[in-house]
Amino acid sequence: MKQQFEQYTQEDFDVWETLSSRQEVNLKDKACTEYLSAIDDMKEVLYPGRIAEFSQLNDWFETRTGWTMYCVPGLIPVDKFFELLAKKQFCSSTWLRNMEQLDYLEEPDMFHDVFGHVPLLSNNVFSEFIHEFGKLGVQNIKNEERLIQLQRLYWFTIEFGLIDQNGPKVYGAGIASSFGESIYSLDQKTARVPFNLDEVLTTFFETDKIQEKYFVIESMEQLYQAIIELKARWK
C-alpha cells in the first residue's frame, strides 16, 4: 500500500492545515523540548501548509534514525505491528478525518500518526526505546500476558505519556495530536503520577474514555531503561 498523494482533496489539505497550525501554537508551551525541537528540525517535511508526503519523510529519516513509513489501511494485527516496529517501520494511516470531526476520532488517522508520533522518532533515545519495544514484542508474540503488558506500556508512554520538564509536558502522540487532551492532561486537577514500570504494566486502560491518570517520566532515558529492564526480566 502506498500513500496516494495526488488523491488528497482540497478538504484534506484544509483539515491538515487547520489541525497542524492550531496544534503547533497550542503545543508551544505544552510539549516537551524533544518534541518541539523535532518539529523544528523537520520543518521542511512536516508543516501545516502541506500534507506530509511519506516519501519525503523517509528521505529525511534515512540519514537520521532510519525509520520508514509503512502505510496501513487502519488498525493491524498485533504481530504485524510489532514486526514492523522491530524493523524500524512505523505504520501510519493515509486517510484524514473530515472538517466535521476535527476533534472526534474513533480510529487514528494520518494526523494522529504523523503529527503525533513521527517527530519523536527522530530523537535517538526515543527511537531506540520504540525499536527495542518492537523487538521485545516479536520475541514474546506467543505470550498473551506479556503482550497485554506491552500494550499497557505503549498506551501509557508512546500514546499518553507526560514528562517532567519544570512541570509536566506532553510527549505521547495521543495527547500531542489532540487539542483537548493536551490541555486536559496538564490541568491542575488532572491526576498524574510518577512513571513506575510495574504500575504501568498492571494498569488497565480503555481506549474510548478520557484518561483517569497519566504517568510522568523524568527523562527519555528512563523510558529506554524501562524497556531494557523488561527485556532482562523476560529473558
Applying CB under 5 A, the residues found at the interface with Fe ion are 108, 173
Nearer residue to Fe ion within complex by CB, 84 or 189? 84
Nearer residue to Fe ion within complex by CB, 108 or 161? 108
Q: Cβ 232 to Fe ion, closest distance in Å? A: 27
Nearer residue to Fe ion within complex by CB, 44 or 163? 163
Q: Cβ 103 to Fe ion, closest distance in Å? A: 16
Beta strands 213-217 and 162-164, pairing class:
parallel
Nearer residue to Fe ion within complex by CB, 63 or 205? 205
Q: Cβ 216 to Fe ion, closest distance in Å? A: 19
Q: Cβ 154 to Fe ion, closest distance in Å? A: 9
Nearer residue to Fe ion within complex by CB, 59 or 107? 107
Q: Cβ 160 to Fe ion, closest distance in Å? A: 9
Q: Which residue is nearest to Fe ion (CB)?
A: 173
